[in-house]
């Protein structure tokens, strides 16, 4: 082979080939490529399509890259438009001179988000969900400002865009639900829907059809109503319109068609259903495994139960998470952030009671800041291009219940089994319609129905009983035969079961389920005749029965409950908190310390006060820390630390979100004493600079928990009245020198961190969730000190060797 000459490089390729190579590059890589040479700069600047297709993963508008975001947005980059719009809407990271001008921020947010929806051609509308009520009543809500601007734009212009008209109509529907007796609001809603439908919005046409349902009383109007729906489906075959039509067919309203034609249309729609392919996400995710997803979904079920969300919302949330994970790699520490942010978005689309961003941060025990939730909203909407509402098992299951005329008990039982399938990623290989049919088939077997699969279901779905046997056995094996996964406290993760043990769902999870052998006999399947293919069981981190998992989710604890860590381990979570890793603290006093600090932190860290959708929420967040009798540590001993000054409880309106958060994260005052205490406090001890490099490397094992050695004094705490929150710390011994005092580390639950010869944390060490430990100051300083000592030792050895030579 001949070696290529050195002057043959990437610049020698034709322009057409270079354009294909540069397409879909991340924005930061595209900018770096533009700086390589003048040819690349000319090619990228003269090819708008490269800026349109550039991805903005882990990018957010700031002072450095803002001009590149603006250029991508001008060239119709949907992801850039969505992130710029959300940055303006929540005042997060958008550089500009209108920090206190709500109208200016609202105008920019409306412009960016409306352009993004127009580029998506009205298929996936999300602007109304981002600005929907409830709004703050203090007059500083950017969402209300956006709605007012859009309404003024639509009133002053007769040829307004259909996406703007539909957004106004949906907001009016929500406002009408808050006051159903207001006839004027109903007339306005009908007027805005009519204008949007006339402008060509198919979603508005369907919404207007649903809005006029109360006017259809006689048989003739009902017949005409089904015909109108059939025309809507023919003009724009959206998912919602199709499900409305086929549910009407299932109820026997054929709109003048023979039953055979209605059955054929329904059967064709069901057979077109494809698999979710959620198991493919591990082709992208290298740091996650199946067990982590299991724990996350179980926690989201508890959040949905706490908020009273429907099964439809839960299925949409899990689908949104899986599709996002199939596109973007996510670290273990950000998995919970993806989950709670998906819940925030989906609740705005489907539920009357939404999850605010502050509430999302509280649900994760303050692990994620306000800014991170806002940015993840932009990442999810940008990655999925606003396509949140897609087909799910829930929709097909409701259709089957309508076809079979199922009662409430059977419907709840089927929904219970369908939510159990969300825990297991293995069911992603089945088509959604087949999985829903198998769920309904198994529910009818458990409920001991006379005919497990009626002929009407065969006619309308196209599935025979033999088509459902393999998936049904797989369902029983994963959902009922295997034991649930255990968390780090040896407690079964059974949130779905507890959700359906309530009287609201007729306690269907308490219905006795036949064993696997009995089910196989009922289906006339011998043990050797059918083997359920479990090829997905080789997925990384597949949860084994009763496998014990380490904690990686964080949740708010309840201080009013007794300390359960001193009790015997329980087999289920009937009386525990609503989250799987709730009470991680080992002492009730420490839990109250963390809870009060988290609540005060949430009230300070927000970058935008108008996200507080109600005044009552603002009063609760700012007053909780004062009402709980929060215990603050003070210095009462001879040896004390020198902490930073405590922050003020409020920030000015002109401060940015980052400034407010940095001020709210000032470390608590921790002072050591010889008095014993049961509360473990981390002390990051600074070594003296005069230490020689000949110290043994055994010091790499660093103790991070007080009480480990009797020589390490423990802190004492005093009440809040014994010190001034905003004043300086008063030391009991004036002779104490600040120069010799070590800087404190924030309290946390842990004992000893062991590092190996490479300075990495050993996995066997007891620790808090890895997402906090990865960025802990104790670990960074310890590894840096260890590396400096080792490098100094090697330098001295090299010098000694040269001297000997």
User: pLDDT digits over 68-85, tens only?
Assistant: 999 999 999 999 999 999
Please state, in angstroms and as integers, the Cα–Cα distance from residue 372 to each residue in 93, 201, 279, 343, following that order. 11, 34, 27, 15
With a cut of 50, say whether residue 590 has pLDDT above it: no
Q: How confident is the model at residue 357 (pLDDT cuts 50, 70, 90)?
A: very high
Helix (H, G, I), strand (E, B) or coil at 787: helix
Residue ending a domain, among 493, 525, 542, is: 542
pLDDT of 708 above 70? no
Report residue 783's pLDDT band, with 50, 70 and 90 as the boundaries.
Answer: low
pLDDT digits (tens, 9 = 90+) for 460-488: 999 999 999 999 999 999 999 998 888 77
pTM over 0.85: no
Q: Per-residue pLDDT for 376 more than 50?
A: yes
| Residue 726: DSSP 8-state | S
| 351-372 mean pLDDT | 91
- Both 82 and 163 in one domain: the answer is yes
Domain that residue 410 falls in: 392-542
Give the pLDDT band (50/70/90) at residue 757: low
Q: Is residue 319 part of a domain?
A: yes
Residue 478 is part of a domain; what is its CATH number? Answer: 1.10.472.10
For residues 399 and 385, membership in a common domain is answered with no
CA-derived radius of gyration, the chain: 30
Residues 383 and 402 occupy one common structural domain: no
> Residue 639 burial (CB < 10 Å; 0-12/13-18/19+)?
middle
Label each residue of 664-718 as H, E or C.
HCCCCCCCEECCCCCCCCCCCCCCCCCCCCCCCHHHHCEECCCCCCCCCCEECEE
Residue 753 parent element (H or E): strand 752-753
Taking the CA atoms of 169, 172, 177 and 182 in sequence, report the sign of the dihedral they define: negative
**3-class DSSP state of 486:** strand
Asked whether residue 229 falls in the same domain as residue 286, the answer is no
Encode burial over 15-31: b for 16+ CB neighbours within 10 A, e otherwise: eeebeeebeebebbebe
Residue 138 lies in a domain: yes
Q: Are residues 89 and 61 in the same domain?
A: yes
Q: Would you state the pLDDT for residue 438?
A: 96
- pLDDT of 425 reads 93
Domain count, the chain: 3
* Interatomic CA distance for residues 56 and 273, integer angstroms: 31
Per-residue pLDDT of 190-209, as tens digits, reads 999 999 999 888 889 998 89
Whether residue 652 lies inside any domain: the answer is: no
pLDDT at 529: 54
- The set of residues, in sequence order, having a beta carbon less than 8 Å from that of 439 and lying 6+ positions away, is 393, 397, 414, 417, 418, 421, 475
- Are residues 192 and 43 part of one domain? yes
Asked if the model's pLDDT at residue 785 lies above 80, the reply is no
| CB within 8 Å of 184: residues ≥ 6 apart | none
Final residue of a structural domain among 363, 390, 417:
390
256 or 767, which is more confident: 256
Same domain, 381 and 468: no
From 248, 266, 298, give the residue that closes a domain: 248
Please check whether residue 650 lies inside any domain of the structure: no
- Whether the pLDDT of residue 595 is over 90: the answer is no
Distance CA 695, CA 704 (A): 20
- The answer to whether position 447 is within a domain reads yes
Confidence of residue 3 (pLDDT cuts 50, 70, 90): low
Q: b/e for 343-363, b at 16 or more Cβ within 10 A? A: bbbbbbbbbeebbbbbbbbbb
Q: Is residue 409 part of a domain?
A: yes
Statement: residue 422 has pLDDT above 90 = yes
Say what the pLDDT of residue 480 is: 94
Q: Residue 213 has what pLDDT?
A: 78
Same domain flag for 178 and 154:
yes
The pLDDT assigned to 170 comes to 92
Structure tokens at 484: 């649930």
Distance in angstroms (rounded) separating the CA atoms of residues 143 and 509: 41
CA distances, 35 to each of 11, 43, 195, 670, 748 (Å):
13, 11, 49, 50, 46
Q: What is the mean pLDDT of residues 793-803?
A: 78
Are residues 62 and 185 located together in one domain of the fold? yes
Alpha carbon separation from 325 to 110, 280, 284, 311 (Å, rounded)? 29, 9, 7, 21
Give the per-residue pLDDT at 594. 42
448-470 average pLDDT score: 93
Render pLDDT for 85-133 as a digit per residue (tens, 0 to 9): 999 998 887 776 556 678 888 888 999 999 998 898 756 788 999 999 8
**Residue 126's CATH number:** 1.25.40
**Helix axis angle, 588-605 to 615-627, nearest 10°:** 140
Q: At 339, is the secondary structure helix, strand, or coil? A: helix
Do 201 and 301 lie in a common domain? no
Mean of the per-residue pLDDT values for the chain?
A: 74
Question: Looking at the structure, do residues 89 and 186 belong to the same domain, yes or no?
Answer: yes
Same domain, 241 and 280: no
Average pLDDT over residues 365-383: 93
């Amino acid at each position: 082979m001949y070696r290529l000459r050195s002057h043959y490089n990437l610049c020698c390729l034709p322009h057409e080939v270079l354009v294909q190579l540069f397409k879909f590059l991340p924005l930061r890589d595209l900018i770096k490529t533009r700086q390589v040479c003048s040819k690349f700069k000319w090619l990228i600047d003269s090819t708008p399509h490269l800026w349109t297709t550039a991805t903005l993963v882990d990018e957010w508008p700031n002072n450095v890259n803002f001009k590149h975001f603006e250029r991508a947005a001008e060239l119709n980059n949907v992801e850039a438009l969505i992130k710029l719009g959300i940055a303006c809407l929540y005042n997060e990271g958008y550089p500009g001179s209108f920090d206190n001008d709500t109208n200016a921020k609202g105008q920019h947010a409306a412009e960016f988000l409306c352009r993004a929806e127009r580029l998506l051609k009205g298929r996936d509308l999300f602007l109304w969900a981002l600005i929907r009520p409830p709004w703050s009543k203090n007059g500083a809500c950017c969402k209300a400002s956006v709605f007012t601007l859009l309404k003024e734009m639509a009133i002053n212009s007769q040829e307004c865009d259909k996406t703007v008209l539909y957004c106004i109509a949906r907001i009016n529907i929500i406002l009408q639900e808050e006051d159903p007796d207001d006839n004027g609001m109903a007339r306005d809603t009908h007027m805005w829907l009519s204008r949007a439908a006339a402008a060509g919005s198919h979603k508005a046409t369907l919404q207007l059809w649903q809005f006029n349902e109360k006017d259809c009383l006689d048989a003739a109007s009902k017949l005409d109503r089904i015909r109108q729906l059939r025309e809507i489906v023919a003009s724009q075959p959206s998912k919602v319109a199709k499900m409305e039509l086929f549910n009407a067919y299932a109820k026997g309203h054929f709109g003048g068609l023979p039953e055979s034609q209605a059955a054929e249309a329904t059967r064709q729609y069901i057979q077109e259903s494809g698999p979710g392919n959620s198991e493919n996400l591990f082709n992208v995710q290298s740091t996650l495994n199946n067990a982590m997803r299991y724990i996350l979904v179980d926690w989201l079920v508890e959040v949905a139960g706490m908020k009273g969300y429907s099964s439809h919302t839960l299925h949409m949330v899990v689908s949104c998470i899986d599709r996002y994970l199939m596109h973007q790699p996510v670290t273990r520490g950000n998995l919970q952030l993806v989950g709670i942010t998906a819940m925030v978005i989906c609740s705005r689309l489907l539920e009357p009671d939404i999850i605010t961003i502050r509430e999302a941060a509280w649900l994760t025990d303050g692990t994620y800041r306000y800014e991170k939730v806002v940015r993840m909203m932009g990442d999810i909407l940008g990655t999925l291009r606003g396509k949140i509402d897609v087909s799910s098992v829930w929709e097909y299951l409701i259709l089957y219940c309508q076809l079979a005329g199922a009662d409430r008990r059977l419907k709840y039982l089927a929904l219970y089994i369908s939510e159990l399938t969300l825990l297991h990623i293995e069911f992603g290989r089945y088509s959604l319609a087949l999985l829903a049919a198998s769920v309904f088939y198994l529910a009818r077997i458990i409920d001991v129905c006379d005919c497990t699969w009626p002929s009407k279901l065969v006619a309308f779905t196209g599935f025979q009983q033999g088509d459902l046997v393999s998936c049904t056995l797989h369902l029983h094996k994963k959902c009922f035969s295997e034991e649930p996964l255990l968390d780090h406290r040896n407690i079964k993760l059974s949130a779905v079961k507890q959700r359906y043990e309530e009287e609201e769902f007729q306690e269907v999870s308490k219905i006795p389920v036949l064993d696997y052998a009995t089910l196989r006999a009922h289906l006339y399947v011998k043990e050797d005749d059918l083997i359920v293919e479990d090829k997905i069981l080789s997925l990384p981190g597949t949860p084994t029965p009763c496998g014990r998992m380490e904690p990686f989710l964080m949740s708010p604890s309840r201080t009013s409950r007794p300390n359960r860590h001193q009790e015997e381990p329980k087999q289920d979570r009937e009386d525990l908190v609503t989250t799987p890793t709730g009470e991680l603290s080992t002492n009730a006093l420490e839990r109250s310390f963390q809870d009060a600090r988290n609540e005060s932190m949430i009230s300070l860290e927000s970058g935008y006060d108008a996200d507080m959708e109600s005044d009552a929420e603002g009063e609760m967040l700012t007053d909780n820390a004062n009402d709980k009798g929060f215990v603050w540590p003070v210095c009462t001993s001879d040896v004390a630390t020198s902490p930073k000054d405590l922050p003020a409880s409020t920030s000015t309106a002109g401060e940015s979100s980052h400034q407010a958060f940095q001020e709210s994260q000032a470390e608590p005052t921790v002072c050591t004493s010889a008095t014993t205490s049961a509360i473990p406090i981390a002390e990051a001890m600074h070594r003296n600079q005069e230490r020689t490099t000949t110290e043994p490397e055994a010091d790499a094992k660093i103790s991070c928990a007080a009480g480990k050695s009797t020589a390490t004094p423990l802190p004492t705490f005093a009440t809040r009245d014994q010190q001034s929150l905003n004043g300086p710390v008063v030391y009991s011994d004036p002779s104490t020198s600040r120069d010799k005092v070590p800087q404190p580390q924030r309290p946390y639950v842990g004992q000893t961190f062991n590092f190996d010869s490479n300075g990495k944390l050993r996995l066997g060490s007891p620790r808090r969730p890895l997402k906090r430990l990865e960025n802990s100051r104790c670990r960074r300083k310890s590894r840096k000190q260890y590396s400096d000592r080792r490098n100094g030792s090697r330098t001295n050895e090299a010098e000694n060797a040269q001297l000997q030579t």
